[in-house]
Amino acid sequence: MTRWVFALSALLLLGGITTVAVARRLGKSGSRPSVFVSVLALWIAAWALWGLVGGLAAQYGLLRRYDATFFAALALAAGALQYRTQVRQGRERGLTVFVGAQILWLVVVMVRNGVLSP
C-alpha cells in the first residue's frame, strides 16, 4: 500500500512539474497546473511530517495512538478547497485554508488521545 502511495505521489508531482515547466515556457507561470503542483506538494509534505511526528509521539508515549487514516480524508477535502480558494482568491487565502486544516487535524489528534477532555 505504501509503495502505491509513493508511486502515485511521485507520478503526480513529476507530471505536475512537467506541466508547470510547459506553462512557464508559454508565459503562464500562475496557471492552474502550477497551483495544483503547489497544493499537492504542500499536502504531501504535511502528510509526511504528520506521519513522522505522530509516529514518534506514539512510540515515545506522548500519544496513546496515532492513526493517519482520517488525515488522508482531510487532506483530500482540504486540498480541493485550498486549490479552489487559491485559484479564485490568491495564494494567501489558499494558505489560510491549509493552515486552518492543519490546526483542525491537531485538534482531532488531541481529542482522539483525550488531551481536550475534562
User: What CA–CA distance (Å, rounded) separates 36 from 86?
Assistant: 9
Residue 42 and residue 86 in contact, taking contact as beta carbons nearer than 8 Å: no
Residue type, position 103, single letter: I
pLDDT at 1: 60
Residue 68, SS3 per DSSP: coil
Residue type, position 17, single letter: I
Does some domain include residue 118? Answer: no
Does some domain include residue 117? Answer: no
Number of domains in the chain: 1
Domain that holds residue 73: 2-112
Residue 26 pLDDT exceeds 80 = no
Kindly indicate the confidence band of residue 28, based on its pLDDT and cuts at 50, 70 and 90.
Answer: low
pLDDT at 94: 93
User: In the chain, which ranges are continuous DSSP H helix?
Assistant: 2-25, 32-59, 69-89, 91-112
Compute the half-sphere exposure of residue 49: CA atoms within 13 Å on the CB side of its CA: 10
Residue 117 pLDDT exceeds 80 = no
